[in-house]
Amino acid sequence: MIEQKQRRFLKGTSKNRREQQKCKGYCAQEPEHIFEYMRIPSTAARSSFDAQQVFRGALKPSLILMAAIWIVVVTAIALEAQPHHGHEMSAEKDPTERGSVADIEMGKSIYSMGCIHCHGSKGKGDGAASIFIGPYSHPRPNDFTASRFKFRSTESGSLPMLTDLIRTIREGIPGFMPSFRNLGDTAIRQVALYLRTAFIQRQLPTETTVKYVEHVGPYTYSVESVKRGALLYREMGCDACHGESGRGRQDTLYDDRGLLIMPMDLTRLEGFGNGTSHEDIYRTIMTGLDGTPMPSYSDAFRGKEENAWDLVHYILSLAR
């Protein structure tokens, strides 16, 4: 029955006759192939009504479309209904800081594409590639569930601010983690929100505890300031770990995972993980790097924060 109609249709136009000659009876053996012709919107095709054709041509795609819309709507409702943040997150005041469900979902996909192979699916720093990064020495990819972060604007022992996570992801960590600047601000924020929601699972501080004194007037870079900084470097015992020349000493120090760690070579700014601007180095000195032997000096400088700039200038003067 169908074949009869197909033959009638193929006889229809001269174009179709040419096509039929080209395929020399092959078309008749292959009904699937012939259906391709039947979709040509000619009057002949439209008049030869056939239920199967209608289903294939128009009904089937529209059914698939309807099913797809239905699935999207139901998933959206289900996600919206989930109590996804736990009670600590809902205690946060600023709802934009919490990130929408869509932000977290996007963050999750970015994480599975860009971070999972190092940081692991549970955020424990045990991704497939992690063992090749720090088999015997510091650093290994961070374990986000341990809530211990090196690069913060908050005091030692606290969680970082969202902006700290964003900065680390944007800038990367020289030698160990690529910069994700190319993702753009929105995507970087989304993946940072995902880290917090999925792994850190606690509210992050929203204010810095680093007290910045204005970096102007007597606290600008000068030979005098560098000289004062050199004195501070010895007085405060930085040389005990970083050595007199700043190149580091061959001491056996360990991080809190028991991995061997070297004090940073201060003459090589390009290795600094926490950034190399005046403000970045000031922040490193004030907050310390949690999980490593590098302590916080915020107490030592309390009330005379301006002196810390001298130390920053001395460290920058070591680079060559």
Residue numbers of the site for ligand HEC (CB under 6 A)? 114-115, 118-119, 129, 133, 138-142, 149-151, 160, 165, 168-169, 173, 176-177, 180, 191, 195, 236-238, 240-242, 253, 261, 263-264, 266, 272-274, 281, 284-285, 289, 292-294, 297, 311, 315
Closest Cα partner for 153 from 210, 74, 191?
A: 210
E strands in the chain: 253-254, 260-261
Residue 265 CB, nearest approach to ligand HEC (Å): 9
What distance in Å separates the CA atoms of residue 294 and residue 272, rounded to the nearest whole number?
A: 13
What distance in Å separates the CA atoms of residue 228 and residue 92, rounded to the nearest whole number?
A: 44
Among residues 9 and 144, whose Cβ is nearest to ligand HEC? 144
Residue 190 CB, nearest approach to ligand HEC (Å): 10
Among residues 99 and 263, whose Cβ is nearest to ligand HEC? 263
Among residues 104 and 285, whose Cβ is nearest to ligand HEC? 285
Helices (H), 39-129: 43-47, 51-54, 60-81, 86-90, 95-98, 101-114, 116-119
Among residues 53 and 284, whose Cβ is nearest to ligand HEC? 284
Residue 258 CB, nearest approach to ligand HEC (Å): 14
Residue 46 CB, nearest approach to ligand HEC (Å): 54
Task: Find out whether the peptide bond into 205 is cis, omega within 30 degrees of 0.
Answer: no
Contacts of residue 26, defined as CB under 8 A and 6 or more positions apart, other chains included, come to: 33
Among residues 85 and 119, whose Cβ is nearest to ligand HEC? 119
SS3 254: strand
Among residues 205 and 293, whose Cβ is nearest to ligand HEC? 293
Which residues in 147-163 are b (16+ Cβ under 10 Å) and which e? ebbbbbbbbbebbbbbe
Residue 63 CB, nearest approach to ligand HEC (Å): 39
Among all chains, which residue has been given the structure tokens 């736990």? Answer: 86
Residue 305 CB, nearest approach to ligand HEC (Å): 13
Which residues in 69-108 are b (16+ Cβ under 10 Å) and which e? eeeeeeeeeeeeeeeebeeebeeeeeeeebbeeebbebbb
Residue 79 CB, nearest approach to ligand HEC (Å): 22
SS3 152: coil
Among residues 10 and 139, whose Cβ is nearest to ligand HEC? 139
